[in-house]
Structure 1
Amino acid sequence: MEFFRALGPIAALSFDLDDTLYDNGPVIEQAEAWMVAHMRDTYLQTAMCDRAWWQALKHRLQREQPALRHDVSLCRRRLLACGLEWGGMAAAEAAMEADKVFAQFLEIRSQVEVPESTRQVLGALAERFPLVVITNGNVLLERLALDHHFQHVLKAGGGFAMKPAPDLFAQMTERLGLAPGQILHVGDDVFTDVLGALRNGYRSAWLNDHHRSLQALHRLPDLMLNRLDELLLLL
């Protein structure tokens, strides 16, 4: 743990999820591969569509509808429906099939392996601080058996812009009834988490467990963690 400025009293801890509490890369890769294979094997309309084709379609949709960049679930459903419509399926049927596929995708995407050390850290911290989640992702937290640690969970989408935009940070301060400076946000991403927290008045703890250079930062956090369990020193 390394401090870059005095932290001051902290009344609550806010956590990012993906790549902060667990390694998100393997499960996302698995879910993406499943989606491409499922759409190829199940629907004649997308039987010839490979991963590169789906990626290109996603980028086109996000260019045409910038709001989709702030809602990963809506973007995924639109992507699936658009792919089926491109292959000739009627729009209403494509939307229904997209919702079914998305529900399966979300279950696979949520098959995350959470380290036991993470569970222990959250359990110990929850005895001292209110814990909350601010995430741009869409993992089903209840599938991870972590939801009982958190008093509030806010996800981008549904009218909330992604971090580092103010939406989620402002809403969480309102829910907690605290000033932003009383909340320490913990996350791995130098843009969405560190810069997002600082821009919106939160204190920032950067989880740098991959030993990245400080030059990767847009602004210095209040503190840097080499491991999540270093947060226990706050107790």
Structure 2
Amino acid sequence: MQIYKQLQPIQALSFDLDDTLYNNKPVIAAAEQAMLLALAQHLPSKLTTDSDFWWQHRQQLARTNPEIRHDLGRWRLLSLEAGLLSLNLPQTDASAIANIAYGAFIQQRTTITVDIEIQQLLAALAKHYQLIAITNGNACIDKMAIGQWFQFSLQAGPDGRMKPYPDMYLKAAQQLNLAPQQILHIGDSHRADVIGALNAGCQTAWLDHHNSAISVLPHIRLTNVQMLSALIP
């Protein structure tokens, strides 16, 4: 652990989820495959398309409605429907198939196993701090069997604009009845987790997977999330 700024008294630990408590890349890859399989099963073979087709519709929707980016689930669902409509499917069919495909995606997306060592760390930290989760993604702390150690989880879209906007950090402080500086936010994204949390007035612990060069320092830098055990009195 590298300490760049002296930590002030901490009452709560806020965790990013994706790529902080687990490797998210295989999770997303499996979810994308589940979505494509569901689409292939419900579309006529002549209309089967590749992943780039759906990605292009996501990009197009974001261009016409930039705010949709703050709700990844709704963005994916509406872009699926838009893609299906572009294939000349009736509105009712496009809506039904989009919901089936998104359902397949989200079921696989929320199938996450957190290593037992991480679970043990969370259990130990929860004895001394309030734990919360703040995520831009769709992961669910209850479905990954770690919800028992968390007070709550905030998700971009339903709970505010995505990080690095301050919405979710400030909402978390309000729900905890704490000042932002009493929260230490832990995450792997320098932009979303470090800059976002600092701008909201929180303290920050950056999980640096790649030994990256940065211009804005967190309070502490971690190379392994297990280093947080140093915070246990």
Q: TM-score range by the shorter chain?
A: over 0.9
- Write out per-residue CA displacement over residues 98-154 of structure 1, whole angstroms, 9 at most, x where no aligned residue: 223212211111122311111011000001100001110011322200111110110
Measure the CA separation in 1 of the matches of 2:10 and 2:176: 13
Note if contact 2:39-2:48 (Cα within 8 Å) is conserved in structure 1. Answer: no
Alpha-carbon offset, residue 44 of structure 1: 2.1
Cα distance, 1:45–1:202 mapped onto 2, change above 3 Å:
farther
Measure the CA separation in 2 of the matches of 1:139 and 1:66: 22
Note if contact 1:45-1:87 (Cα within 8 Å) is conserved in structure 2. Answer: no
Partner of 1:87: 87
Measure the CA separation in 2 of the matches of 1:122 and 1:185: 14
Residue identity in the other structure for 2:50? D
Measure the CA separation in 1 of the matches of 2:54 and 2:120: 39
Partner of 1:182: 182
Measure the CA separation in 1 of the matches of 2:3 and 2:137: 28
- For residues 17-96 of structure 1, what are the structure 2 equivalents within 5 Å? 17-44=17-44, 47-96=47-96
TM-score after normalising by structure 1: 0.94
Q: Which runs of 5+ in 1 are unaligned?
A: none
Note if contact 2:57-2:80 (Cα within 8 Å) is conserved in structure 1. Answer: no
Measure the CA separation in 1 of the matches of 2:231 and 2:217: 19
Q: How many residues align?
A: 232
Partner of 1:223: 220
SS of the residue corresponding to residue 143 of structure 1 reads coil
Partner of 1:143: 143
Q: Which runs of 5+ in 2 are unaligned?
A: none
SS of the residue corresponding to residue 144 of structure 1 reads coil
- Write out per-residue CA displacement over residues 54-93 of structure 1, whole angstroms, 9 at most, x where no aligned residue: 1111111111111111000001110211122112222233
Alpha-carbon offset, residue 38 of structure 1: 2.4
Measure the CA separation in 2 of the matches of 1:71 and 1:218: 28
Measure the CA separation in 1 of the matches of 2:93 and 2:12: 45
TM-score after normalising by structure 2: 0.95
Note if contact 2:34-2:104 (Cα within 8 Å) is conserved in structure 1. Answer: no
Note if contact 1:40-1:46 (Cα within 8 Å) is conserved in structure 2. Answer: no
Measure the CA separation in 2 of the matches of 1:101 and 1:73: 12
Alpha-carbon offset, residue 212 of structure 1: 1.8
Residue identity in the other structure for 1:113? T
Residue identity in the other structure for 1:71? D
Residue identity in the other structure for 1:223? I
Aligned-residue identity in percent: 38
Measure the CA separation in 2 of the matches of 1:46 and 1:163: 40
Note if contact 1:46-1:87 (Cα within 8 Å) is conserved in structure 2. Answer: no
Residue identity in the other structure for 2:222? L
- Write out per-residue CA displacement over residues 28-54 of structure 1, whole angstroms, 9 at most, x where no aligned residue: 011112222321232128833111111
Task: Report the aligned-residue RMSD.
Answer: 1.5
Measure the CA separation in 2 of the matches of 1:191 and 1:50: 31
Decide which moves more: 191-200 or 27-36: 27-36
Measure the CA separation in 1 of the matches of 2:83 and 2:116: 39
